[in-house]
Amino acid sequence: MTEVTAPEQSAPLTGTQTLTLAKALNAGMRRAMAEDPKVLVMGEDVGRLGGVFRVTDGLQREFGEDRVIDTPLAESGIIGTAIGMALRGYRPVCEIQFDGFVFPAANQIITQLAKMRLRSLGQVTLPVVVRIPCGGGIGAVEHHSESPEAYFAHTAGLRVVACSNPVDAYWMLQEAIACPDPVVFFEPKRRYWDKAPVDTEAPAAPMGDAVVVREGTDATLLAYGPMVKTCLEAAEADDRSLEVVDLRSLSPLDTPALEASVRKTGRCVVVHEAPVFGGLGGEIAARITEACFYHLEAPVLRVGGFATPYPASRLEDHYLPDLDRILDTVDRTFAW
């Protein structure tokens, strides 16, 4: 009879480590799984392969096939199964392989995952995390570079967050896993290889808080996910003092923090990769205008993708907001 041995578990990272965003997500999941045996990871190729971006690399070897589950290619089945498991007390972390693949699961997410807590008058919670690599910039094919955050931010009952750097990736994912509400967790795939020191003992700001990542006095750039780094680069390249705020939480919005920045600077530009029409920037602009009307020196302007499907990879540099488009829009705010 062959003896079955338990998977060997490595100790969680300690101290300050320099990690890529992808490795920070991996470390965050590893720590959450080590601390709570009810945390499971599931998705297409997340086990043996470690995910197409290797975000889950090594987790199946460490925690076993019953906790890191390779699923069939069926996003609706992944989320539906996760809902059932959450009802039984587990905390599933579901990986959607690419952003454009989430739509087959939209029915489960919108009609079941988002509604159960209210439907049960708070007696039932569904602590499910849906991880979605989002955005372009990697030269991918169709359905691999989309920004579907507005669909889920519009859906009451979901928390929607977006990390932009390794520190937030590590801490926000752990907080999302511990949250009693379902969390849609967007990860900027073109930032997966960005590195930064991560202090594993000093938690980042709560995932519901917006954070000023660059102080300024002349205008505010509001961004999230992949566009935070682009806005920081734009601010560094400009002679004016531009403040950059990372939203981090898309639903709910940390409106007091956004308003405080705009009241200070008097000008605001909202930047995201998703198309401007119907995008999250419209909601943000409306809220800022309502709350900061008498502080604004110019209308709140938006920079985003065009109202077309995401183009072929050879055209994506024309589609994605860049420094020139951001700074041209900042120039417009000073022309009023």
The three-point CA angle 285-231-292 to 5° equals 25
Residues 6+ apart with CB under 8 A from 102: 75, 96, 109, 130, 132, 148
First-to-last alpha carbon distance for the chain, in angstroms, is: 81
Q: Which residue in 143, 144, 154, 295 is the catalytic one?
A: 144
Determine if the peptide bond prior to 252 is cis (ω within 30°): yes
Please give the torsion angle defined by the CA atoms of residues 270, 275, 280 and 282, in that order, rounded to the nearest 10 degrees: 70
How far is residue 324's CA from residue 306's CA, in Å, rounded to a whole number?
15
Residues 6+ apart with CB under 8 A from 288: 258, 259, 262, 268, 296, 300
Write the burial class of residue 293 (CB in 10 Å: 0-12 exposed, 13-18 middle, 19+ buried).
exposed
**In 10 A of CB 267, how many CB atoms?**
24
Nearest C-alpha neighbor of 89 from the set 124, 48, 122, 53: 124
Please confirm, yes or no, whether 144 is among the known catalytic residues: yes
Residues 6+ apart with CB under 8 A from 35: none
Task: Estimate to the nearest angstrom the gap between the alpha carbon of 77 and the chain centroid.
Answer: 22
Q: Which residue has the tokens 């898309």?
A: 250
Q: Which residue has the tokens 């090594």?
A: 58
Phi/psi at 136 (5° precision): -105, -155
C-alpha distances out from residue 142 to 78, 98, 100, 146, 310, Å = 22, 10, 8, 9, 7
- Catalytic machinery residues: 144
